[in-house]
Amino acid sequence: MDHSVSVKEGRYYILRMTNGQIYDLVMKDIGGADVPLSRFKDKALLLVNVASKCGFTPQYSGLQSLYEKYHDKGFEILGFPANDFLWQEPGSDSEIKTFCSTKYNVSFPLFSKISVKGKDIHPLYKLLTEKETNPQFSGKITWNFNKFLVNTKGEIVARFDSKVEPLDAQVIGAVEKAIG
Taking the alpha carbons of 145, 146, 149, 154 in that order, is the dihedral positive or negative? Answer: negative
Domains of the chain: 42-179 (3.40.30.10)
Mean per-residue pLDDT of the chain: 90
Q: Which residues contact 69 (CB under 8 A, 6 or more apart)?
A: none
Report the chain's C-alpha Rg in angstroms. 15
Evaluate if pTM is beyond 0.85.
yes
Q: Which residues contact 163 (CB under 8 A, 6 or more apart)?
A: 56
The answer on pLDDT for 127 being more than 70 is: yes
Query: What are the residue numbers of the active site?
Result: 54
**With pLDDT > 70 as the criterion, what percentage of the chain qualifies?**
89
The answer on pLDDT for 20 being more than 80 is: no
Confidence bin at 24 (pLDDT 50/70/90): confident
Predicted pLDDT of residue 14:
40
The answer on pLDDT for 28 being more than 90 is: yes
Question: Span 37-62, mean pLDDT?
Answer: 97
Q: How far apart, in Å, are the Cα atoms of 24 and each of 2, 17, 79, 165, 180?
A: 11, 6, 18, 29, 23
The 10s digit of each residue's pLDDT in 91-111 is: 999 999 999 999 999 999 999
What span, in angstroms and rounded, lies between the C-alpha atoms of 123 and 119? 11
What span, in angstroms and rounded, lies between the C-alpha atoms of 123 and 13? 7
Q: Which residues contact 160 (CB under 8 A, 6 or more apart)?
A: 146, 147, 148, 149, 168, 170, 171, 174
Tally of CB atoms within 10 A around 14:
15
Predicted pLDDT of residue 36:
95
Question: Span 23-37, mean pLDDT?
Answer: 95
The answer on pLDDT for 17 being more than 50 is: no
Confidence bin at 84 (pLDDT 50/70/90): very high
The answer on pLDDT for 30 being more than 50 is: yes
Taking the alpha carbons of 24, 65, 168, 143 in that order, is the dihedral positive or negative? Answer: negative
DSSP states of 62-129 as a string? HHHHHHHHHGGGTEEEEEEEB--STT---S-HHHHHHHHHHHH---S-BB--B--SSTT--HHHHHHH
